[in-house]
A and B are shown apart, each in its own frame.
Chain A
């Protein structure tokens, strides 16, 4: 089992809809979770971090964490074409100081 799993997509949603991106992880001890957005040819950009169970909202983005079920998700409300990118789920595993990344989900927001 991979440490961090994401559906590679592409996930296609119409403009204005809610995009739901999911990530599961294997290390129950993980405490810190991150969502990065990466546009083609660019480096990743941190858009959300979440550390406690529940929801965390920032503008159109909501991160959801469920440690018991070992998943973290990212909701994008009112999706825009500019949201089209690859979204990377990342977390710290064990006592490692380095992030473990999922392979990313490619999101396409269509007009």
Chain B
């Protein structure tokens, strides 16, 4: 399968600071990238969908001014959590989608565990 990387894998920050998470598709060009959040023992929650060169589409209830998404190229998307607070502590996972054998398949990065003190 295709490889998606995320950096950093773990970050601890103070309340009020901003944190940037990078997502890269390493061996394919991703037509679309997705950002998810997962709290302990809960399901994946889609936050936003981004296509290269255009504005991200945010899911209902996700603050676009707090979670800034930039999709600068077909292999890189970034999520910036601005003015992070303890309630933003979560597991953030990106995924990248591309066509394989005529179908869209989504591959996940390893995730970034954010802890806000």
Q: How many residues of B contact A (CB 8 A)?
A: 19
Task: For residue A67, give the distance in angstroms from its CB to the closest CB of chain B.
Answer: 15
CB of B105 closer than 8 Å to a CB of A: yes
Query: Complex formed: what's the CA distance from A103 to B41 in Å?
Result: 10
Which of B14-22, B73-81, B82-90, B106-114 interfaces with chain A? Answer: B106-114
Query: Complex formed: what's the CA distance from A40 to B106 in Å?
Result: 20
Q: Which of chain B's residues has its CB closest to A102's CB? A: B43
Given A34-B106, A44-B44, A46-B105, CB of A98 within 8 Å of CB of B49: yes
CB of B61 closer than 8 Å to a CB of A: no
Task: For residue A101, give the distance in angstroms from its CB to the closest CB of chain B.
Answer: 5
Of the residues A41, A51, A99, A104, contact of B106 by C-beta under 8 Å: A99
Query: Complex formed: what's the CA distance from A101 to B38 in Å?
Result: 13
Given A43-B109, A43-B111, CB of A97 within 8 Å of CB of B104: yes
CB of A45 closer than 8 Å to a CB of B: yes
Q: B111 contacts which chain A residues (CB < 8 A)?
A: 42-43
CB of B25 closer than 8 Å to a CB of A: no
CB of B34 closer than 8 Å to a CB of A: yes
**Contact in complex: A45, B108 (CB < 8 Å):** yes
Q: Which of chain B's residues has its CB closest to A92's CB? A: B104
Query: Complex formed: what's the CA distance from A45 to B34 in Å?
Result: 15
CB of A62 closer than 8 Å to a CB of B: no
Of the residues B46, B97, B105, B110, contact of A43 by C-beta under 8 Å: B110
Given A32-B104, A97-B32, CB of A104 within 8 Å of CB of B43: yes
Query: Complex formed: what's the CA distance from A103 to B44 in Å?
Result: 8
**Contact in complex: B108, A44 (CB < 8 Å):** yes
Q: Which of chain A's residues has its CB closest to B2's CB? A: A46
Most chain B beta-carbon neighbours within 10 Å: one of A42, A43, A46, A103: A43
CB of A88 closer than 8 Å to a CB of B: yes
Which are the 5 A-B pairs with shortest beta-carbon distances?
Answer: A43-B111, A43-B108, A43-B93, A103-B43, A44-B108
Pairs A–B under 8 Å by Cβ, sample size 14: A34-B105, A36-B108, A42-B111, A43-B91, A43-B109, A44-B93, A44-B108, A46-B1, A46-B105, A49-B105, A51-B103, A98-B34, A99-B34, A101-B43
